[in-house]
Amino acid sequence: MKFTVNRIAFLKKLKDVQLAVSSRTTIPILTGIKLVADSEGIKLTGSNSDISIETLISVQDEKATLRIEEEGSIVLQPARFFSDIVNKLPDETFSVEVMDRVQTAIKSSSSSFLINGLDAANYPHLPEIDTDQAFTLPVQLLKTIVKQTVIAVSSHESRPILTGVNLSLKEGKLKAVATDSHRLSQRVIPLESAGDFSYNIVIPGKSLQELSRLLDDSLEEITVAIAENQILFKTEDTHFYSRLLEGNYPDTDRLIPENSSTQITLDAQVLLGAVERASLLSHEGKNNVVKLSVSKNELEITGNSPEVGRVNENVSFTNIDGEEMEISFNPDYLKAALNTFGPVEITLKLISTLRPFVLVPSDDNREFIQLITPIRTS
């Protein structure tokens, strides 16, 4: 194998596939990056068994100025070491040449490295997923869905199924939901491209976070295809594979209350600011708890830590309707939920002091819901 390529164009693709590489893998060859040179261009692959990323630097890409002199393949490891070499090379272009099957020369201007690679034939094969039965999503919408739901996945492995986002497709509607049993986030969107497909799968939250990092804002659409235990997200030159979690996701519809006894309409960013200030105090105390008190003419956020002090703040609102109530909660959960809304008006719906409360956009179309379970304080 021998090729010459623009260093910056190559480095961008290299960093993309590095997202899938882990130094803690139990399969040594997966600490490296697989390179394959053929008539189409250079394919780079990174994997950690859970996720795999394959991307192509095309010979048609003018910015890459790719010239392939000899086809072939190699795995260069560790990935970070290879990336550091490319990053530090002195010239705009560099060449890679594999000699004696695995010995690899990397040259740029006056700089020359000779490193030992591994036989690419031993690299695990990527899953084969039929893309005939697939649907498309706008990239920005997918990134928004990930941002809005992944905050609620569990970080504990005691219930592995809750470490993922439940994606279900039925009757032309795509529903994404995540819960760690203390909070829940759900987003529903109509999906015309889905046709008659129906799915009910769970994608690891970590996979979706890496996918979101990978997707460039300049991309318009992404194709999604699902197999028995894998999902593929495909753009024009990049394939992102993730394993799916096994097991049945809990029925979360029953957790979302239909009715409420108190409703508060207000600006999400105003409430976020008040909760952030209150959490400064709660984080310094033993109990990370903030209280929200609702009366007909007042909405108050209170933080009280006997070891540190107390904070009270009256929060401006558009409307309050219903019963007076006090509710205590983890401020970090509410801050994360409010950050997913951005600068819009929302409605808080409270049932009782110990029942979960929900946050929805003020138009209340129920397409986006955040739910938080209160904390018992006495």
Q: Which helix (H) or strand (E) holds 51?
A: strand 51-58
116-129 mean pLDDT? 94
pLDDT-derived band at 296 (thresholds 50, 70, 90) equals confident
Q: Are 59 and 103 in contact (CB under 8 A)?
A: no
135-182+191-252 belongs to CATH 3.30.70.660:
no
76-84 mean pLDDT? 95
DSSP assignment of 153-192 equals: S---TTSGGGGEEEEEEETTEEEEEEE-SSEEEEEEEE-G
**pLDDT confidence of residue 191:** 85
**pLDDT confidence of residue 195:** 67
Q: Are 219 and 137 in contact (CB under 8 A)?
A: no
CATH architecture of 256-372: Box (3.70)
Where in the sequence of the chain do the CATH 3.70.10.10 domains occur? Answer: 256-372
Instruction: List the single range of 68-72, 190-194, 207-211, 308-312 with lowest mean pLDDT.
Output: 190-194
% of the chain beyond a pLDDT of 90: 81
Res 308 pLDDT > 90: no
64: nearest Cα among 134, 12, 126, 131: 12
Where in the sequence of the chain do the CATH 3.10.150.10 domains occur? Answer: 2-122, 135-182+191-252
**pLDDT confidence of residue 119:** 96
**pTM: predicted TM-score of the whole model, two decimal places:** 0.92
Pairing assessment for the beta strands 93-99 and 72-76 based on DSSP bridges = unpaired
- 238-290 pLDDT per residue, tens: 999 999 999 999 999 999 998 999 999 999 999 999 999 999 888 887 788 99
% of the chain beyond a pLDDT of 70: 98
307-319 mean pLDDT? 91
**pLDDT confidence of residue 159:** 93
The CATH number of 2-122 is: 3.10.150.10
Res 378 pLDDT > 70: no
- 191-204 pLDDT per residue, tens: 877 667 788 999 99
Q: Mean pLDDT across the chain, nearest whole number?
A: 93
Res 344 pLDDT > 90: yes
